[in-house]
Structure 1
Amino acid sequence: MSERSSKVSRRVPTPSRAKVKRTLPKKGKTGRNKKPKGRVTRAKVQKREAELEPITPFQRGVSIGVKFGGLTAGVVGLFMGFLGYLTYSISAKEMNEQITEQGVSIVNSLESAIDRSLWITREEPLTTDGEHPPRMRRGREELQDDWTQRLKAIVADSREKVVAISIVEKDKRDPSRQTLVAQSREEPITISQNPLGHADADSPIEIYEGVLDGQRVRRFDKPINLERYLERDRRIDRALETLSSSDPQSEAYAKALEEVRRLTGDGSITELQDALDWREQNPGYYLLPDAENVDPYVSVFIKADRLDRIKNAMFQRIAIVTLCGAAAGILLTVLIAAVLTGPIRQLEQDITEVAEGNLDHQSSVAVKDEIGALAHVFNIMTRNLKIAQTNAVERQAFERELNIAKEIQEKLLPERIPQIPGFDIHSYYNAAKEVGGDYYDFIVIDQTHLGIIVADVAGKGIPGAMVMTMARSLVRLASVRNVSPADTFKKVNRILAKDIRRGMFVTAAYMVLNVKTKTLRVASAGHNPVVLYRARTGENELVKPPGIALGFDKGTIFDNHIKEVEVQLEPGDRIVTYTDGVNEAMNNDSEEFGEERFYELVKAHATKSSQDFVAAVVAALERHRGSAEQSDDITITTLSVKGGS
């Protein structure tokens, strides 16, 4: 008996407390886990609390009231200045147009009134007896003197609006040569001028602006029209020539006679002689010999410095109004700022009180405006901070408890993978949360039997971990010298069903391996099927004996349903047990990995070592899941029989 015991012991080594270092298993790792040296104390686990930052003095700059006042003053000043500029521009434009209209009106009136006898004359008719000689035309110098006096009178009567008036002749051959005909001033007119263009597009009046006797003036030049006096007589003379040279019965004669009647306005003219008599009584106009090579002009000088005076006065008024508006804006802003900054300062003190750590403090600002709304939100924020602080303290306590539970659970998992000659065993465990609801275990029943169990608790977190711990302890107690997995489940269920919370249950697959005969007894408590890969056929067999989950029923129903089957293993065969976190693993599109894909994965990698097999399965799961969060605990345990091809 002792030889047999020692022989089996070599095949199924039992962990010794002296040789095995208990570890904290790392999440998602396979195989044996190692524990760092030294004791993990609560002081090392707990995070050191950060200290509150003290309220330090704040270097104040320009106050809100001053900023607001300056901004308001600037805006008011800009607005008033812009409004004044518009008023100034419009008024200056209107005044400029008034001066132009005045000058155009005066120069047009003068041009119409000037005596053309200075440049043209007409033959005087004889008396009826034909004895008296023609009356002589008044002398040119006399006319010039006469118009000089008239121009002076016009300037005197203009109430200083008109500075000077002059009548000049420009040589047609050389316009720069000018001759003065009449002028309202005794002294010559010397002016620096700047051309402003014509009064309008069709007007012959040219406008210049300059300085005369130290004051701003505007000059209006208009040519004196002589043609309107000469053209009529020229057309009458041409018509008379046609009458004289045409047959009285011809059409040209009739047209010329009609033209004479129209131009003279005398309907009694019926023949050539009547027309000649009319001409004798009404001699025509003609240019004097000295006027044939000159173009007469009239120039009016209008005082324009009043435009400058009005502009300056307007600018001063606008500046005064702008400054008064800015000052009023500053004063109003100071008053508004005083009303606004009072509640703001109170709110600042409230914020400082809360920043120092007093989360029970509430702001006393009671105004019904935006500041009041801000104080209302601040009070809500303070209360929420108080709640958040309480929740943080509770969460910190919960996390400490969770870490302790995690440490306890990880110590309950197998410390090492059994090394049995002729078999290759490996496992993988990855909890979806800090504390998982899956569990697996290797149980040495006796010298020739090894129990392998994979279980899944309906639930995760601390409740699932507590049920898992209870189930593990019961399975280990019930499996002592018990090689029947079905009988083990019956014993476990009788106790677990009484203590488990309503609505919770445990699914499990329990196998007992005879290491000598290579036979495997399998019982299932509502768990996923055990996958058996046959090396001989290269196909999978699903081993799923009848049974319901642990905890559903307290007695006979569970005992009547639970069965076990025995499987003979051959070299190269592989057994795979897993939890539903494998086949139900989801990606970002909520697509499950699926059982069929998992079975094909088992066949594809069954011939590898158990460690490489597990690594291939885990890699495939991670590729499928991508960046999606793990939704359930994942546990895989596999066993292969060595010796296959």
Structure 2
Amino acid sequence: AYLFLGVVPTVLLLILASMLGQILYSQLGAYLLYHDVEDRVAVMSSLASMQASLPVGLDEKAREKILARQAELSVGQEMPKLRVNFEEKPKFFSDMAGSAGHSFSGLIQSGNQLRLVGMRELENSQGKRIVEVSVPFDSELLENVAPDLGPIEITLAQTVEDEAGKNSVLIGTKHYRKLDKILTYKRELLPAESWSDPVVEGFSKLEAVYISPQGEVERAHPVFAFYKARRSQLNHRIFASVGEFSGARVFQIQLLGVVFLVIELAALIIGVVLAKAITKTVSGLYRATQFVREGNFSHRVTVERKDQLGVLGESFNLMTSSISRLIDEQKQLQRLENEISIAREVQDQLFPRGLPKVEGLEIEAICKAARSVSGDYYDFIQLDPTHVAIALGDISGKGISAALLMASLQAALRSQLLTPGSEQLSTAELVGRLNKHLVRNTGEDRFATFLVAVYDMETRKLRYTNAGHLPGFCLSDSKSMHLDVGGMVLGIVEDYPYLEGVVDVPREAVFIAYSDGLVEPENAYGEEFGVSRLEAAAQRVRQADPKRIATALMTAAEEWSGSPEQADDMTVIVAKLK
């Protein structure tokens, strides 16, 4: 908190000041570069005016000699490439100077060539003539431009059409492409004078008259000048008016910054001391939080005050007591969740992982658990190429105990059906063996309803035994056959005599088995969905594939209930016997 209150605002202000200084220095360098070029343009205009005022009969060599001397006096350096020309009918002069203009000075770009030009109209006895003074704007000239800066680069561009390609950039309403560049080769970036002497980069946009290869004249054509410099170079220019005292002025500014930093640190220290003095009374709470962090919720704060800090201490004691109680409850809940997770994993391993692939048989099952672990169990077992066993059960109880009973039932069922010759085993005998297994190996309060059926594709006979489960049914065009032959639930009476039922299955019949959760949902008036409504819903979609039939039956039961919550597990098996 002390860091954010004292240090962060100062750091942000310093960063803002540094960014602002960088922007200002960048603009200063751009101004120096632009101003130097404009001064040279003004010199070219002055030279053109001087040439226009010379006597008419003066020869060309004399004019060039006078021009060189005038340029040296104006610029302070020799300009060996400076030239003067006289033209009777100058090209483009009216476009550059305007219809009423008599002079022009500025930059002219022709292709990848850039020149400094000054023109002036001259009228004498020989008629109207134009005197033109020009010098190439090349690397040699660029070396003398803005000497307070470091390396300079001039980028020349040409106008292109809108569809010229991705290498063009849009400036205003026109597209431009880089054509060439002019560099300074002798200039180097000076080494930093100190850690606070960063590199300053910037650019300035110059305007030139662009003459295209087709002879078209474009005014205000952009020419970009980029530069690099040290901040110390620009400081020397800023404080040039004070001469040798410029270093002292910079030192004063740096000293002021150091003083400001010292004051800020002193204020931060004083603030920390005052804050600690004010919050001394809560140090006991802080020490108590260390005990809580280590997991010791029995520690209590000694309350000696009657003010708000005392109330805070009492609240802390109540909080730790509540946390301790909640942790105990959370541990119990975690144990229960672990038990449910184990039961869910066991159950996931019990359900069949794939559907039997038998010609003439399509089968599908859907199981929606009311809670994390379902009490319903179903299985498909292919006995041989022509026999398939289908099983559905409803296990009593919930949680891991129901999952374990389901695992025991599944293991016993598969051990009976996966032995050679099991396709000839009576379903009544099979259910009787499962019943004995549950009676002998489970408690008295554990039981299960169970329906098992074995279908023979060759004879089209369905043998089944129903042990206390809701009767499944076979639907055909003409009738509905209920599978209600069998006996009582499994796990109650050890030697109970179960019966086997046999059904001749018509072609294109649909076999449906379900749990009680599918027919027991009640509507707003307390009416159950019921078996009759389930059969009617199945009859309406009998021609569909098993998956659509199963989904339709689930949807019909849910729509009848109208409640988003299930009261019991819902399971349905649909087999299409072609």
Normalization by structure 2: what TM-score?
Answer: 0.47
Find the structure with the greater CA-based Rg: 1
More strand as a share of residues: 2
TM-score by length of 1: 0.42
